[in-house]
Structure 1
């Protein structure tokens, strides 16, 4: 008899096994809470992949729910995970595959952050009721304004109803305000204490940078005590959030952050990024570049990009027209010819019915109606830095 349900907890994946074990620990905790199988899968850098995790449970269940273990909805949540879910629905037609929501903004997380702040206050021997305590909530930072906006929202929710002098949002990279200048700005208020909370799931490279920046600030400003708290870890309150996300997905009440997504609506300063194809391309190029990441202990996001990046749409209409064969033949042709190109699959390139669609970057050339027998010509064009003019659907 089939189990009614299974969940795949979709983590990012890391070269640090400790980070991957955290995902597995949360998966085991969620399984205990829900009472049916929960397995971990990873977007990159760790095994099993999300498709492999789905494959491991699909034969024995009627419903699989994929829940992203992501703090905010940036490109992985908006593009990578939905792509995997769509593919799984095509491959496992007898299983209902549901797409869950990321952790996001949740009362249990605000409560957890409050406890993390209280632990630092105890360490510094200060009391928010009697002392001027400022909290700086430091997140990773994203190129997605929707994701960054949620950090500010969490900071405000942590401030409301509590006796902190203030709660500020800051970032360790990508966007502003960066942590170091944010701390210097906070120092002008002459607080009694500064509590820095890393808004991270685990103890990785970025969390350590937050600690180091906080320690440097503490040394430079003798009149203000400063210390850094712990990341979210595997606290049981995360299981509460994940259980809620499961219930949302299974009742069809998953609210993806689309109303303020820069890929779907025009936002001031991001007008050129609207369009589903750009969202998917950005996700794919980022995902593919991680394969060439340098030593994570030195610089976690240095990428060594190939000369060419070729994406093949494997969404439903393109898949039905033979996109999977085109994808695999292109990969083989590139390997055989020793071409410096990366071949990856994509979701919808917004040219449904005109596929299989193949996009070549940085040439900005899109091919349409590509058949398996066209692969050799495309591979040759990559090798000679040319285009196959009769296959061109459009150029950007």
Structure 2
């Protein structure tokens, strides 16, 4: 069911929504998130603010802090296409920390956009627009569609891209609908286009499965143009991204309703952080996933050159997380954190970022210090151990074995 566009739900006087976008160096993309937030506010009848995971302001913690002053409940709705690391790790980490910072505030977390009939309808309309541009008609001509997504290291996210392509194919007169990716995983767009060409369709519609008209959408368009030049017997063109299509509000409204009624449905049976999938065995483990989220957030570098590869990082050699949740804090973890930072500053060889974290799930074994990418966790750490952790492990890459709690 889609949230009612014409009625304000009962009991929402003290609730607000935070629409979370990824964030971009291109302000046009950030404005898209803000536009959708304003339109969603009109749809739901509750205040809706926009927040960003990275690269734009306000960040999620700042946005939640701003809402906390005027409401007692906040529902986080994610403007993410698929459930990859940002959805599974980074946003939950930010929400978890916000709950710790604002214990008086009830914060519910919603799911990503995912697979939804409204998204399939948008894709169908985008394809029809390209067909009209090419002078093709799927009822009379052999029209092939290539749905091109960003690509992820998470098989769950890539699987949903294939599912959307199949749903677009079902019940429609396309000759075929194939899935491709612009990066990270295979098949890549050029590979898929060359394979489709062997079937000699009359036209090929390339659909960028992106929210905004940014760098990756541009690459997809460039790929379609290059293919069109190389295959004169096939008419090829790329369509528009999802943009601010009002049908996105239907999806966001549903995700809001799911979150506020505690009925969020995540694909845990195919989540690489929860079950062992072939080729992804090393990713299993919630603690490992959370530390990966910490590392990503702390090491993301804001670059000025937008022509560089997206998501480049200026990461330190090691990342150290110190649990400062209630139990570890009572055992002295704040002193451990400050001593580690002091010893790291005093060292000429230390290339590490040292940050506080929320609970690492080892209550009673703390203070807990985790060092990544080594996957070494120290337990029962005293402030006096900080010098050994820095000089031996961070500087010399030698584990301080007598305080090792576990290795991941």
SS of equivalent to 1:60: coil
Structure 1's 335 and 38: CA in aligned 2 closer, same or farther, altered over 3 A?
farther
> Are the aligned partners of 2:300 and 2:315 in contact in 1 as well (CA < 8 Å)?
no
Which of 365, 369, 381 is 1:370 aligned to?
A: 381
TM-score norm. by structure 2 comes to 0.90
How far apart, in 1, do the equivalents of 2:372 and 2:407 lie? 10
Q: Distance in 2 between matches of 1:262 and 1:292?
A: 28
Cα distance per residue 1:21-70 (max 9 Å; x no partner):
11111111111111121111111111111011000001211210111111
The answer for the alignment partner of 2:405 in structure 1 is 393
Q: Which residue of 1 aligns with 2:293?
A: 283
Equivalents in 2 of 1:198, 1:66: separation in Å? Answer: 26
Paired residues for 1:90-105 under 5 Å: 90-105=100-115
| Residue of structure 2 in register with 1:178 after alignment | 188
Alignment size in residue pairs: 395
Alignment of 1:342-353 (within 5 A): 342-346=353-357, 349-353=360-364
Q: Which of 218, 225, 230 is the equivalent residue of 2:228?
A: 218
292 and 13 in structure 1: CA distance in 2 versus 1, 3 angstrom threshold: closer
Q: Residues 167-206 of structure 1, C-alpha deviation per residue, up to 9 Å, x if partnerless?
A: 1111001111111100000000100100000011101111
State the partner residue of 2:6.
none
Query: Quick check: 1:87–1:315 contact (8 Å CA) kept in 2?
Result: no
Counterpart in the other structure of 2:368? 357
- 1:141 offset after TM fit, Å? 0.4
Are the structure 2 counterparts of residues 316 and 111 from structure 1 closer, same or farther at C-alpha, using a change threshold of 3 Å? farther
CA distance in 1, matches of 2:384, 2:297: 28
Between stretches 82-91 and 183-192, larger displacement belongs to 82-91
Equivalent position to 1:271, from 275, 281, 287: 281
Q: Which runs of 5+ in 2 are unaligned?
A: 1-11
* Residue 366 (structure 1) shift: 1.3
CA apart distance, 1:280: 2.1
Map 1:8-27 to 2 at 5 A. 8-27=18-37
Question: Is the Cα–Cα contact under 8 Å of residues 315 and 346 in structure 1 kept in the other structure?
Answer: yes
How far 1:329 moved relative to its partner? 5.7
| Mapped pair 1:57 → 2:70 | no
- Kindly report structure 1 stretches of 4+ aligned residues shifted beyond 6 Å: none
Inter-partner Cα distance in structure 2 for 1:162 and 1:378: 62
8 Å Cα contact 2:378/2:405 also seen in 1: yes
Matching residue within 16, 19, 40 for 1:6: 16
> SS at 2:247's partner residue?
helix
SS where residue 275 of structure 2 aligns? coil
Counterpart CA distance in 2 for 1:54 and 1:391 is 37
> Is the aligned partner of 1:262 residue 2:272?
yes
Give, in whole Å, the separation in 2 of the partners of 1:294 and 1:374: 39
Q: Is the 8 A contact 1:292 1:305 kept in 2?
A: no
Aligned-partner SS, 1:203:
coil
Give the CA RMSD over aligned residues.
Answer: 2.3
The answer to whether the 8 A contact 1:367-1:392 is kept is yes
CA contact (8 A) 1:321 1:355 kept: yes
